Amino acid sequence: MIKLTNTWGGQKQLLVPIRPGHIGMYVCGVTVYDLCHLGHGRTFVAFDTIVRYLRFSGYNVKYVRNITDIDDKIISRARETGEIWQMLVARMTHEMHQDFAALNILPPDVEPKPTEHIQQIIAMIERLIQRGHAYITREHDVMFSTETARDYGKLSGQNIVNLRSGARVSVNTEKNNPLDFVLWKAAKAGEPCWDSPWGAGRPGWHIECSAMNSYHLGTHFDIHGGGSDLIFPHHENEIAQSTSAHDGPYVNYWMHTGMVTVEQEKMSKSLNNFLTLRDMLQQYDGEVLRLFYMTGHYRKPLNFSRDNVDAARSSLTRLYSVCRLACGSPSAQHEQWQARFQQAMNDDFNTPKALAVLFDLARLINQTLVSDPDGAAALAATLKQLGNVLGLLCREPEEWLQSNPLWDQSQLNTIAARVKEREEARQNHEWARADALRLWLEEQGVELEDKGGKTHWKVR
């Protein structure tokens, strides 16, 4: 049975779906005004892994991950670049999909956008007004009244009295309460807008998610996730809106990922340590970054450093080297190893423990290779299958072992040709030529292994 830590209450709880065998899951996605950063990669690899494991465990998962395609940042960036805002959104969405594909993040079942759900957003705001949870200002903004929401602040553990007294009321004199937040923004000159009962305008950020997840998953669903930076105010405000608009419960389990630091410091443009996924994917294979993200528990902070990512690459190379032995059906010990793997993942999707199981298995394979090559090959098939559950080890081992993000196809072809030449020289007993080719290949960062009359090679 799977247990997960519910941010609501902070306790580890048994996963009990609303509908047996089915799970509805919503994760707050990217605001597409710029390239994704390392933190985005961490969050969406984590939830992709969780969805993969839930499906592996037999659940029918409907996974909804939105894209925020209208926002102050999008409007501002479009002005800076001179683009039509829709073109900026389309371009950045394409870039996001490219980066996510490189990390082997599967597409969600539904990827809704606020601009495609204006009707649902307006309907939800109307319902909140009718039920006395929202009001219209003199400027024709629609505000949510936090004083009318039950349990406001419980998700984040915020002291609402302290928040209210510390808020700057002067920020918006139209508010009844400094903690109230906007549901509908009245149109400003030159900004995108849609017609509504309160005049032209556009939705606020928080209402977008509430309207979209209730439309695609119903007003009560199983899991809602996102980065820990969204707990307050975004998810707190989602809860307030959704429970005020609809009777009954909203979300059973709230899940949040920890932040990524860079060399133990918060990632920030002001500190000049802001790293985009695109930057990293030009230096590291996406599967290396995926494994790096899994070396920390999804709920904990994760520190990025070159040493940590290099270690992840070495670890992945070790696993692929063993997978090269895989042949035939999984081992007779498959169920035993799968049980250990599931025990780790059932404990709040503990990927560090699950990876430890894979490395224990890889160690056993290497130990039994000489005495029982067939058994080692079957165990390697088990290793590959379990790695696939995490979205790892999905490529042919040779493809991985012979890959280098700094090489183009021409360089790769040259390396392969030199390896073949050396193999032919050895077969012809041209030892001096073979040694010269080996030296040249080693200088290029290639590691050679001569075994069974054949040469295997990989990037060092």
DSSP secondary structure string, 340-409? HHHHHHHBTS-HHHHHHHHHHHHHHHHHHTTT-HHHHHHHHHHHHHHHHHTT-S-S-HHHHHT--TT--H
Evaluate whether 3-257 and 262-401 have a shared fold: no
pLDDT at 419 over 50: yes
CATH number (3.30.110.70, 3.40.190.10, 1.10.275.10, 1.20.120.640) of 262-401 reads: 1.20.120.640
Q: Where are the domains of the chain?
A: 3-257, 262-401, 409-459
For residue range 363-394, list pLDDT tens digits in order: 999 999 889 988 999 999 999 999 999 999 99
Instruction: For residue 46, give both structure tokens.
Output: 């984590």
Q: What pLDDT, on the 0 to 100 scale, is given for residue 276?
A: 95
pLDDT at 337 over 70: yes
Instruction: For residue 207, give both structure tokens.
Output: 């209402």
Strongest mean pLDDT among 174-178, 257-261, 272-276: 257-261
pLDDT bracket for residue 169 (50, 70, 90): very low
- For 85-113, give one letter per residue: b (16+ CB within 10 A) or e: beebbeebbebbeebbebbbbeebebebb
Q: What pLDDT, on the 0 to 100 scale, is given for residue 452?
A: 60
For residue range 19-28, list pLDDT tens digits in order: 999 999 999 9
209 marked among binding-site residues: yes
Q: What is the distance of C-alpha 110 from the center of its chain?
A: 15
pLDDT at 168 over 50: no
Q: What pLDDT, on the 0 to 100 scale, is given for residue 71?
A: 93
450 versus 117: the higher-pLDDT residue is 117
For 147, list phi and psi in degrees, rounded to 5: -65, -20
pLDDT bracket for residue 144 (50, 70, 90): very high
The mean pLDDT value for 109-120 works out to: 98
Lowest mean pLDDT among 182-191, 268-277, 300-309: 268-277
354 versus 406: the higher-pLDDT residue is 354
Q: How far apart are CA 374 and CA 390, in angstroms?
A: 25
The mean pLDDT value for 158-176 works out to: 63
Q: What pLDDT, on the 0 to 100 scale, is given for residue 425?
A: 85
Q: What pLDDT, on the 0 to 100 scale, is given for residue 116?
A: 98
Q: What pLDDT, on the 0 to 100 scale, is given for residue 453?
A: 66
DSSP string, 237-267: HHHHHHHHHSSS--EEEEEEEPPEEETTEE-
Q: How far apart are CA 314 and CA 400, in angstroms?
A: 12
Grouping H, G, I as helix, E, B as strand and the rest as coil, residue 8 is coil
175 marked among binding-site residues: no
pLDDT bracket for residue 289 (50, 70, 90): very high
Name beta bridge partners: 136. 142
Q: For 242, what's the count of Cα atoms within 13 Å in the CB-facing half-sphere?
A: 25
Q: What pLDDT, on the 0 to 100 scale, is given for residue 270?
A: 64
Q: What pLDDT, on the 0 to 100 scale, is given for residue 441?
A: 86
The mean pLDDT value for 248-260 works out to: 97
Q: What pLDDT, on the 0 to 100 scale, is given for residue 164?
A: 61
- Angle CA 154–156–160, to nearest 5: 65
For residue range 181-232, list pLDDT tens digits in order: 999 999 999 999 999 999 999 999 999 999 999 999 999 999 999 999 999 9
269 marked among binding-site residues: yes
The mean pLDDT value for 305-330 works out to: 91
28 marked among binding-site residues: yes
Q: What pLDDT, on the 0 to 100 scale, is given for residue 173?
A: 63
pLDDT cut 70: percent of the chain above it: 96
pLDDT cut 90: percent of the chain above it: 75
- The CATH number given to 3-257 is 3.40.50.620
The chain-wide mean pLDDT, for the chain, equals: 92
Name beta bridge partners: 227. 257
Q: What pLDDT, on the 0 to 100 scale, is given for residue 460?
A: 77
- Examine residue 114 and say whether the peptide bond preceding it is cis (omega within 30 degrees of 0): no
**Under 8 Å between Cβ of 14 and 2:** yes
Q: What pLDDT, on the 0 to 100 scale, is given for residue 43?
A: 98
pLDDT bracket for residue 170 (50, 70, 90): very low
For residue range 34-76, list pLDDT tens digits in order: 999 999 999 999 999 999 999 999 999 999 999 999 999 999 9
